[in-house]
Amino acid sequence: MTDRDGKLPVQKAHVGVIVPAVNRVCEQQFHAYAPPTLGVHTMRARIAGKWSRPIEELAGEIRHVTEYAAECGPDLLVYNCTASSMKEGPAGERRILEIMREVSDIDAVSTSAMVSEAFAELGVKSVVIISPYPNNDDIVAYLTATGMTVARDVALRLPVSEYSEVTPARWQEVSKDSDVQNADAIFLSCAATTQIEAVAAIEKDLGKPVVNSNQSVLWGVLKRLKPKLGHIEPMPHLGSLMQTL
């Protein structure tokens, strides 16, 4: 995006984002929704899909891609994979971030931590989980370990190659069909989907907050880097979470 004179905006802060190699949508979404003054720099890693393995077996890959992601001198690093960062609970997530910080000496956050932080910001205690995954067992276990109540979980049981093909309208439809009264919010889990585009519409339908993986990561990054970025334009199209910045 350029200004009226055809010049690129000055980037005031930078974030390095590690995404699964199978993710088709992450870069497009972050570049579309992040303020133009935030530099978003992505690195791909074999950490999900057919490459999913225990954290200690992924340690070498995490170290490798973190070293590359740190080369551009970002202010913050993000491990952006919900399933991978939640699959071994809070302890597994802490291990991922420990590896990243050791390698780079740069602060690092994960999708799972940003999701939990978003729930706390919104006062959410119970959720409906909706995902494209074969099952939500790891997501349920992680959220339960952090004190959340899972009122219902819905997994579309799709192959990884089809995650990004589910339309925002379909996510909206599934959310309306899956909501239950005792859920404070809807959690749309997965960084490799179009879910972020459905957040505002679902909130309008249901009258409750919606948290999505990429939305919560962008929110967490902006919150941490706001002192450098300065004023951030409102983002009502990304739901009520963004209004807390």
The pLDDT tens digits for 51-91 are 999 999 999 999 999 999 999 999 999 999 999 999 999 99
State the CATH number of the domain containing residue 188.
3.40.50.1860
Q: What Rg do the C-alpha atoms of the chain give, in angstroms?
A: 17
pLDDT of residue 3: 55
Q: Is the pLDDT of residue 4 over 90?
A: no
Report the b/e string of 66-96 with b at 16+ CB within 10 A.
beebbeeebbbbbbbbbbbbbbbbeebbebb
**Does residue 153 share a domain with residue 85?**
no
pLDDT tier for residue 5 given thresholds of 50, 70 and 90: low
Mean pLDDT of 101-110: 96
Residue carrying structure tokens 């999505």 = 212
6 in any annotated domain: no
Does residue 245 lie within any of the structural domains? no
Mean pLDDT for the chain? 96
104 and 74 in a common domain: yes
Q: Are strands 210-212 and 185-188 parallel, antiparallel or unpaired?
A: parallel
In a domain, 7, yes or no: no
Task: Indicate if 220 and 206 belong to the same structural domain.
Answer: no
Considering the domain architecture, whether residues 100 and 121 belong to the same structural domain is answered as no
The enclosing domain of 97 has a CATH number of 3.40.50.12500
In a domain, 3, yes or no: no
Q: Which domain holds residue 225?
A: 13-111+215-239
| End-to-end Cα spacing for the chain | 23
Note whether 121 and 105 are same-domain residues.
no
Is 2 inside a domain boundary? Answer: no
Predicted pLDDT of residue 7: 82
Residues 145, 83 within the same domain: no
> What's the pLDDT tens digit per position in 118-173?
999 999 999 999 999 999 999 999 999 999 999 999 999 999 999 999 999 999 99
pLDDT at site 8 = 85
Same domain, 103 and 146: no
- Both 28 and 107 in one domain: the answer is yes
Quick one: 104 and 118 in the same domain?
no
Residue 2 above 60 pLDDT? Answer: no
Instruction: Report how many domains make up the chain.
Output: 2
